[in-house]
Amino acid sequence: MESETIIRLAEVPVYQKNVLVLSDVRLEVNRGEFVYLIGKTGSGKSSLLKMLYADLPVLDGGAEVAGYDLRRLKSKEIPYLRRKLGVVFQDFQLLTDRSVRENLFFVMKATGWKDKEAMTDRMEDVLLKVGLVTKANKMPNQLSGGEQQRIAIARALVNEPEIILADEPTGNLDPDTSAGIIRLLKEISNSGCAVLMATHNYQLFEQYPGRILKCEHGRVKPLEVEAGE
């Protein structure tokens, strides 16, 4: 039976450019769980996410993500780890010189897809999930900010990841659009894909409850929020 725990960190320090930003991180995220990672700008949220998708190395402690031991991860294994992860950024990071279809195909080709028919089917499937199946031939600049972020989420879903790592995905969006993005991420977690989302928009988790972890004073700690707060 597959482990229910998708992320397991034990006594892990997080470094950014040789500066210790978080120490003794202990964290478990289970399949299908929705977890907020909160904290002020500069508190280490993005660095922690970067470490989870192997953009920053794990130098000590125990770290396992989607079945991969990050301490022992070889550079040639990183693409295989990243197939099990979907990463969503604040600034969308779509390729502006190609259509939505070509943005999604680019990711598929980079992760080993070859069958054009299967690629088209998967593209339509993920665009349907984010409610933008009619936008395949649009260029990113023809889409609103909310639509671009939905395309970024569709791109993150292409390889049926076990977890979505979302770094301030609503940071550039208005409140109504932000709410739509969170509802979409909630639906994704309900379907069995864990979501770990960094944000400093505290209103979101009042409307859309989830487990909350806070980066503060170089530590990651659970935050208890009373019901109705």
Q: What is the pLDDT of residues 165-191, one digit of tens each?
A: 999 999 888 989 999 999 999 999 999
Q: Give the CATH number for residue 65.
A: 3.40.50.300
Q: Look at residues 211, 202, 148 and name the one whose alpha carbon lies nearest to residue 180.
A: 148
d(C-alpha 150, C-alpha 130), whole Å = 6
Q: Compute, in degrees rounded to 10, the torsion defined by CA atoms 147, 152, 158, 162.
A: -120
Mean pLDDT, to the nearest integer, of 126-153? 95
Residue 162 has what pLDDT?
A: 95
Q: Compute, in degrees rounded to 10, the torsion defined by CA atoms 31, 47, 215, 172.
A: -90
- For residue 229, pLDDT over 50 is answered with no
Considering the domain architecture, whether residues 63 and 38 belong to the same structural domain is answered as: yes
Domains in the chain: how many in total? 2
pLDDT-above-70 percentage for the chain: 96
Q: How confident is the model at residue 212 (pLDDT cuts 50, 70, 90)?
A: very high
Considering the domain architecture, whether residues 78 and 105 belong to the same structural domain is answered as: no
Burial class (CB in 10 A: 0-12, 13-18, 19+), 26: middle
- For residue 217, pLDDT over 80 is answered with yes
**Residue 120, token pair as written in the block:** 């088209």
Looking up tokens 């190609």, which residue turns up?
Answer: 98
- Number of Cβ atoms within 10 Å of the Cβ of 165: 26
State whether residue 39 is helix, strand or coil.
Answer: coil
Q: Are 128 and 121 in contact (CB under 8 A)?
A: no
Mean pLDDT, to the nearest integer, of 7-36? 95
- Boundaries of domain holding 228: 1-84+163-229
For residue 175, being part of any structural domain is answered with yes
Considering the domain architecture, whether residues 2 and 74 belong to the same structural domain is answered as: yes
Residue 228 has what pLDDT?
A: 40
pLDDT 10s digits, 22-47? 999 999 999 999 999 999 888 999 99
Considering the domain architecture, whether residues 1 and 14 belong to the same structural domain is answered as: yes
